[in-house]
Structure 1
Amino acid sequence: MKEKRVLYVSSEVIPYLPETEASSMSYFSPKMVNDRGGQIRIFMPRFGNINERRHQLHEVIRLSGMNLIINDLDMPLIIKVASIPKERMQVYFIDNEEYFKRKATLTDEDGNLFPDNDERAIFFAKGVIETVKKLNWAPDIIHVHGWMAGMLPLYLKNYYGNDPLFEDSKIVTSVYNQSFDGSLDNEMIDKLRFDALDEEALEFLEEPTYDNIMKTSLKYSDAIIKGSEELSPEIESFVNSLDRPVLEYHAPDSFADAYENFYLNDVLTEEKEEA
């Protein structure tokens, strides 16, 4: 992985949120790249239940300050950063008072999805991309974890499709058996249409269920990693229908060589052939 640049965009990362398959691999995979000589950037939402004092988050003024348009509303983008203890890794947090101040992640105390989770996902995707543009940091690979990050491939391939910074970037999506019941706001597709995304790109989002959000993410990815040993039959079938490199499930204690080989020999194949 020497000198390769990998951007990690995740719904959750340990130690900032509880340990799950997604939060664990969002920590272990960038650590592997970092340990093997690559360059990394990690992004996640700054959910309100993340203890800023304990984790020593602080705002990055030079990156904050822009407004993102979400459904015709100006939403201020705040960027915070923290260092993972004992590791040479920083995590960038996408923040906004309206979307991420509440002291929870995705659901209220009764377990109901927050009604604006769709807008939070759109804001997160656009916020990551705009911040990476400000950093002027062109990634070789963009690795997406979790459904809250699922709009990123869609926006990169459509809304930001002509941006030269991402011209050679390859998108990898890890798909997990971590879903939610029901659907996000059914008006989500109209909020996406506000950004003039291709109608074909929105084919699965008339009903934004977990499976349909992940189908959209996978459709606009260049490669796929199975982050769970078992996936839903619908997702498994969709993965099998795509003409994409797929890496089967590898546990956190045995993934490192498999991920590195996949990155270098499958995801970056075109780059190698051109070289």
Structure 2
Amino acid sequence: MSVQSKKRILIITNELSPYLEITDFATILNKLSVKTFDSGMEIRVIMPRFGIINERRHRLHEVVRLSGINVVVDKEDHPLLIKVASLPNARLQVYFMDNEDFFKRKTVFRDEQELFHDDNAERLIFFCKSALEIVKKFGWPPEVIHCHGWMTSLIPMFLKTAYKKEPVFVHSKSIFTAQNPQFPENFGDDFVKKILNSAALKEKDVELFAGANNEALTAGACKYADYVIQGQEDLDKDILAEVKAAKGKKLIPYNPDWMENIDPLFDLYQNLTED
């Protein structure tokens, strides 16, 4: 397979084994990434550089030529640092989006007292925009963009709105892993305003996110994604109903064997790159 003919898969996730494991999908995505790479496709993975990720152990290093971008979040510029590591037992690259204000802390979504970080909304927006901005800088157009985790939930919407005319994303198909809510907190009444202040969007683009909670993030992501993976067997019935009712939406049903056999998910990647 020549370099020019290789299909490109991009995974954007807030968890990936061995760096951070929140759900079983951290391991599933690891196996899926390796299998995709071994198949001859080009694959890159993007995730946040949470402070609990040990840079020395995992051999992260800054990519100076890619760093230096400023990402606008709620009308404020935030510098983006890019770090990279090679996934153990594979030669594929994992890119870590870093920012001292958002990710230096040694916690993930909650502080030492188990309180939800009060800037998680800004961290969400920053990560989603950072992931897309760095792909633009790569000049690397992916056929498939698989979004996993609530911190990726704005990406399917951005791809259909603010970034829809970007050449690198014109032919991209998005997948979102739908899971049950992982936090009960609310981002606040100004959440939608913060999104609108961060990108060229219309109010109708973000209306599904107005609930400003985990359920709203999932609903919005499912609306805009081209494909939705049922990430849990007991996924909320309302979410399932909305996905099944959406015109042109394709649902990938939950499979209890994914942990041992990721072939069905790999087949989805293959099928989407052949369309």
Q: TM-score, normalised by structure 2?
A: 0.92
Among all aligned residue pairs of Structure 1 and Structure 2, give the percentage whose two residues are the same amino acid: 39
Report the counterpart of residue 248 of structure 1 in structure 2: 253
Query: Given the alignment, which residue of 23, 30, 53 partners 1:50?
Result: 53
1:260 aligns with 2:266: yes
Query: Given the alignment, which residue of 220, 224, 227 partners 1:223?
Result: 227
Matched residues in 1 for 2:203 and 2:162: separation?
12
* 1:184 CA displacement: 2.0
Query: Given the alignment, which residue of 10, 14, 17 partners 1:14?
Result: 17
Query: Given the alignment, which residue of 115, 139, 163 partners 2:118?
Result: 115
| Unaligned segments of structure 2, at least 5 residues | none
Deviations 1:240-263 (A, max 9, x none): 222311111123345433123323
| Count of residue pairs brought into register by the alignment | 269
Matched residues in 1 for 2:34 and 2:88: separation?
12
Matched letter for residue 214 of structure 1: T
1:31 aligns with 2:34: yes
| Unaligned segments of structure 1, at least 5 residues | none
> Does the aligned pair in 1 maintain the 2:9–2:269 contact within 8 Å?
no
Deviations 1:132-164 (A, max 9, x none): 111111000000000011111111211111111
Deviations 1:15-54 (A, max 9, x none): 0113522322221221221122211000000011111111
Report the counterpart of residue 212 of structure 2 in structure 1: 208
> Does the aligned pair in 1 maintain the 2:27–2:259 contact within 8 Å?
no
1:53-132 matches, within 5 Å, as 53-132=56-135
* 1:178 CA displacement: 5.1
> Does the aligned pair in 1 maintain the 2:97–2:130 contact within 8 Å?
yes
Matched residues in 1 for 2:265 and 2:35: separation?
9
Matched residues in 2 for 1:52 and 1:39: separation?
25
Report the counterpart of residue 173 of structure 1 in structure 2: 176
Report the counterpart of residue 143 of structure 2 in structure 1: 140
Matched letter for residue 263 of structure 1: Y
Matched residues in 1 for 2:42 and 2:27: separation?
19
Report the counterpart of residue 153 of structure 2 in structure 1: 150
For residue 208 of structure 2, give the secondary structure of its aligned residue in structure 1.
coil
> Does the aligned pair in 1 maintain the 2:83–2:95 contact within 8 Å?
yes
Matched letter for residue 56 of structure 2: R
* 1:168 CA displacement: 0.4
